[in-house]
Chains A and B, each alone.
Chain A
Amino acid sequence: MIRAEHLTKRFGTFTAISDVSFAVERGEIVGFLGPNGAGKSTAMRILCGVFPPTSGRAVIAGYDVVTDSLRARRVVGYFPERVSLYLDMTVREYLRYVADMKGIAARERRAAVERALDGAAVAHVAHRLIGTLSKGYRQRVGIAQALLGEPRVLVLDEPTAGLDPEQVAEMRRLIRSLRGESTVILSTHILPEVEATCDRVIIINQGRMLAVDTPQNLNQRLRQTSQIYLEVIGPADQIVAQLHAVPGVLSVELSASPVDGVVALTVATQKDRDVRADLAACVAAAGYGLLELRPVALSLEAIFLSLVSAPEPSRPPVDHEVPRRLSA
């Protein structure tokens, strides 16, 4: 449904994306994962026809986004990172305008607008001026705008940015509900987001693709070791020694203690071995109090570091500097 081949985009001397290639099958939900400024928006804007790539090409539903731009744009719904709407229009007026701009026939327009209103759950504010709506609702109107006309491809640039947790959950539900009907590309810099919604992830950093895989595989592949965090009441030295003796444990490190008398530890274990039950049993057998035990989720930062520092065999080593600080 979407095919990008060696996309490169330069703005003057700045290279926003470099040699990005990927393919998305019909009905898939694919996530672009990367820190701010990684080139996610640039890649999405190329797909949506905002500007052409400097080199390489992209094809959507068989239409080249440069040479057949108008037809390609007809099958794409875009949700921009900066949701910008005409504040002086009501939601319904705005969607009517978008329907006309998308070239939806006059007799189908009413039904199409109503479906988009329902799809994005904004039907009850349809009569309100967009300028009076909250951020969350404006975001939804932005989604309604993208859904309008049921485009075969949806490109959503950070659809959950700036929403409160409840709205984020709702947005994810909405995106998941599109599975199978539309092909969706969404971008995010939040790791759990792709795990929650996407079939596949494209990791992109400093304009280059680092990996393409399912979230599960990626997690597996990235975890050379698994880490488990524990909080235990007891003598620190003995606890460390005893945990070290548990089979499968590679190292035990003391972390900063949250409260006096509580020992916080991070235990690194072998990759494919779940030792959580053994750890718990060990602590209990020694008579210490176990307050907390949980696997440490890999942060986006850790993912990038491991992808950048440990290139997989099939891929040439990435030759750029490791980002110093990434927002996770």
Chain B
Amino acid sequence: MKFLVVCRRELRSYFTSYIAYILLAVFLLLSGYFFYSDLIFFVLFGGYVLPTGLWQFVFLDMRLCLLLVLPLMTMRLFAEEKKLGTIELLWTYPVRDGEIVAGKFLACWLFFLVMLLLTAINPVIFYQFYQFDVGPLLAAYLGIFLLGTAFIACGLFVSSLTENQVVSAMATYGILVFFWFMTWNEEAASQSILQAMLRLSLFDRFYNFSRGVIDTRDVAFFVLFAMFFLFLTLQSLGVRKWRGVR
């Protein structure tokens, strides 16, 4: 249960350093604004098909906000401890590396969940005026939840590589944006490579969810993506065993 101790300290640190409040405020403001403008767009031009007319745009926009905010949440997880040197003491306590990774991941993940739940205010208010089918909305929420989980795992890994938080955030942006945009230039890639890239692209995997479609292959992709990066994080912590501590 040591991972809960790690998790509690991380959460505490988010809230004492005001990072949590600022990121939460920015995220909610942006996603609220996008919901508002997408709703206006839907009312004017939407064609009355809610999943493709409104949810798709709302969640594709929310995905942008997540891309902006989550690397800023994950950047400090290991980088700060490395910079401060507090990580060395962590290695000497009777705690497994896996518990440390799990605790830090969980802290960021819980924060992300709260963030996501708070955005539900928008559709809840909307529901008061227009009783829509909630199924597609829940599917989209599942998608964005999985997407965010993948982002966090990736950011956690990058954070374990550096002691510079800016480098940590920037490299996470690099990796995520690459996974996202890599299929944009479809014409330039040969068919076989394109097929492989489509399967790996975060953008294409998320697209179905935003339209209210849950495909187990997409779910599996995001889960594997996250697990892969968590595994890499664990490996990266093991590097100290042959490279030492600064």
Binding site for B on A (CB under 8 A): 11-12, 16, 42, 45, 48-52, 70-71, 73-74, 76, 78, 80, 82, 84-89, 97-98, 100-103, 145
A101 to B16, Cβ gap below 8 A?
Answer: no
Which interface class (under 10, 10 to 19, 20 to 34, 35 or more) fits B? 20 to 34
- Nearest CB of chain A from residue B111's CB, rounded to whole Å: 16
Among candidates A50, A85, A86, residue contacting B91 with C-beta atoms closer than 8 Å: A50
How many residue pairs, one in A and one in B, have C-beta atoms under 8 Å apart?
77
Residues of B within 8 A of A88 (CB): 13, 16-17
Binding site for A on B (CB under 8 A): 2, 5-6, 8-9, 12-13, 16-17, 84-86, 88-96, 240-245
Among candidates A51, A71, A84, residue contacting B240 with C-beta atoms closer than 8 Å: A51
Residues of A within 8 A of B244 (CB): 11, 16, 42, 45, 51
CA distance A84 to B9 in the complex (A): 15
- Nearest CB of chain A from residue B72's CB, rounded to whole Å: 18
B93 to A73, Cβ gap below 8 A?
Answer: yes
List the 7 closest A-B pairs by CB distance, nearest first. Answer: A84-B85, A100-B5, A78-B92, A48-B92, A101-B93, A73-B94, A74-B94
Residues of B within 8 A of A80 (CB): 85, 88-89, 92
CA distance A45 to B94 in the complex (A): 14
Residues of A within 8 A of B12 (CB): 89
Residue of B nearest to A72 (CB): B94
Contact A85/B86 with A51-B240, A52-B241, A100-B2 known, Cβ cut-off 8 Å: yes
CA distance A42 to B243 in the complex (A): 12
CA distance A48 to B245 in the complex (A): 13
Residues of A within 8 A of B96 (CB): 70
CA distance A98 to B6 in the complex (A): 10
A73 to B92, Cβ gap below 8 A?
Answer: yes
Residues of B within 8 A of A71 (CB): 94
- Nearest CB of chain B from residue A41's CB, rounded to whole Å: 9
